[in-house]
């Protein structure tokens, strides 16, 4: 049975893209979410090449996986947050935590 290699590449790219997008939204470590965003951009860039669009592939690879991650890292450095620590809203309503 002959499998078309381009179709196999499309299936693998789709599965990895969906899994890394779910990890990027759900995880608590912000640096891991940023790495997953770069991974999604890289997969999309390869997908653009399969769909015969080389200009868009070059632009998306250099911006999404290069400069966007850099600007995000600057923002992480300035605020000092690397984990998603959220306040507990029920305790704040009852007046336990006075801010």
Partner 1 sequence: MIIFWAYISAIGLISIGIYGLLMKRHAFKLIISLGLISTGVNLLLISIGYIIGGTAPIYPKNLNISAPMVDPLPQALVLTAIVIETAILAAALSLAILMHREYGTLDVRVIWRRLR
Partner 2 sequence: MIIRRIFAALFAIFFFISAYVLIADIGFGNNKMDDLVGKYYIENTIKDTTALNVVSTVVVNYRGLDTLGEVTVLFVASVSVGVLMARFKGSKLWNVSTTPIHITAGRILFPLIWIFGAYIFVHRHLTPGGWFPGGAVIASGVLLLMLAFKDYLPSSKLITFSESISGSLYVLVGLIGLAIGGYFLYDFVYRTYGIGTIGTLISGGFIPIVYTIIGVKDGVELSGILHHLSRDDTE
What is the smallest separation between the CB atom of 27 and partner 2, expressed in angstroms?
16
Chain centroid, CA 93 distance in Å: 34
Binding partner 2 by CB under 8 A: which of 9, 58, 92, 97? 58
Binding partner 1 by CB under 8 A: which of 1, 3, 4, 89? 89
From the list partner 2, partner 1, none, which binds 52 (C-beta under 5 to 8 Å, kind-based)?
A: partner 1
- What Cα–Cα distance (Å) separates residue 48 from each residue in 12, 53, 69? 15, 6, 20
Q: Which residues ranging from 12 to 71 are in contact with partner 1 (CB under 8 A)?
A: 13-14, 17-18, 21-22, 24-25, 30, 33-34, 37, 40-41, 44, 47-48, 51-56, 59-60, 63-64, 67-68, 71
Q: Which one, of 62, 27, 26, lies nearest residue 41 by Cα? A: 62
**Half-sphere exposure (Cβ direction) of 38: Cα atoms closer than 13 Å:** 16
């Amino acid at each position: 049975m002959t499998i078309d290699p381009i179709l196999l590449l499309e299936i693998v790219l789709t599965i990895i893209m969906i899994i890394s997008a779910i990890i990027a939204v759900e995880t608590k470590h912000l640096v891991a979410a940023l790495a997953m965003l770069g991974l999604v951009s890289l997969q999309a860039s390869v997908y653009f090449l399969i769909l015969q669009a080389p200009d868009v592939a070059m632009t998306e690879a250099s911006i999404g996986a290069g400069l966007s991650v850099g600007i995000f890292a600057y923002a992480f450095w300035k605020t000092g947050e690397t984990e998603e620590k959220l306040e507990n809203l029920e305790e704040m309503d009852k007046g336990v935590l006075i801010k």
